[in-house]
Amino acid sequence: MIYLFYGEEEFLIDSEIKKLISKNKIDNNSISRYDLEVDSIKNVIDDACTISLFDGNKFIVVYNFDKLLKDDEKLLSEFINNIGEVIIVFVASKLDDRKKIVKEIKKISTSKEFNKNKNISNTVRSMFDDYKVDYKTVDLLISMVGNDLRILSQEVEKLKTYKDDKEITYQDVLDLASSGDNDDIFDLINYIVIKDKEKAMECYSSLLRRNEEPIKIIISLANQFRLLYQCKELYKKGNGEDSISKILDVHPYRVKLALDKCRNYSSRVLLDYLLELADIDSKIKNGLIDKSLALELFILGN
């Protein structure tokens, strides 16, 4: 059986893969993961054709399917028509529907696209499972934390752990969600921009003491730099708070905060930092640098 999951929402793709593993009762020992940026499709096929020493179906996840080499397309085409007893999930950030191999896999697979969710409130609400929570409370959580689904999922789990009565209230979010994080991130941004390395490291250390992961801090920094830059550019073009909120699909509260802060920085400075963080994120994902070291070098190097 073949699945094809594609799009930019990595969190939703990962969640769908976990559901498949649970639904098919796949043992962890029967799961293999490959990345076509570094692995050959031949390795995937050899694994799929190898008899498992464990009970149950073999489950293979192939990331970066869009990086499949042209010379390997024929090999994969022959394999998928004789797949046998194995479940394979091909994952890609984007697809070229003009390619023959893409058309072939779409024809015989269960395919699903996971791109930016316009109904993010519904997605976050579903994360609460059987907990009672209204949409006003969900929207507050999104406005405080941001639109990153992975970070939102962490905050939801924290709220669920706190409550025994299966009801999450507006006040619970105010009390427990990382409401201080945006302020701390804005402080960290300010210290980085004005090159106060001592204060920047103090702010960073404070976030670590609250058990914030370096990768989450990097994502938060990038999200805030991006929001500051976008709000500044749109404001310069004559857009007000409400208009910017609709254009960016961002809660008005976050737009207001961003407009208050972005007046202190030039567009060029904001864009340069955003590009640097994107480069850091790429290096971390490719294993070229440790996430903690990368963040410290970013703070100290600016």
Q: pLDDT digit string (tens) for 241-259?
A: 889 988 988 777 678 888 8
Q: How far is CA 180 from the centre of its chain?
A: 21
- Residue 221's nearest CA partner among 120, 291, 130, 128 is 291
pLDDT tens per residue, range 141-167: 887 777 778 888 888 988 888 777 889
Domain ranges of the chain: 2-113, 120-176, 179-301
CATH of domain 179-301: 1.20.272.10
Q: How many CB atoms lie within 10 A of CB 143?
A: 20
Share above pLDDT 90 across residues of the chain, in percent, rounded to a whole number: 27
Nearest-angstrom CA–CA distance, 134 and 113: 28
CATH 3.40.50.300 fits 2-113, yes or no: yes
Count the alpha carbons within 13 Å of 101 in the hemisphere toward its beta carbon: 19
Confidence of residue 180 (pLDDT cuts 50, 70, 90): very low
Class for the domain spanning 120-176 = mainly alpha
Is the pTM value of this prediction over 0.75? no
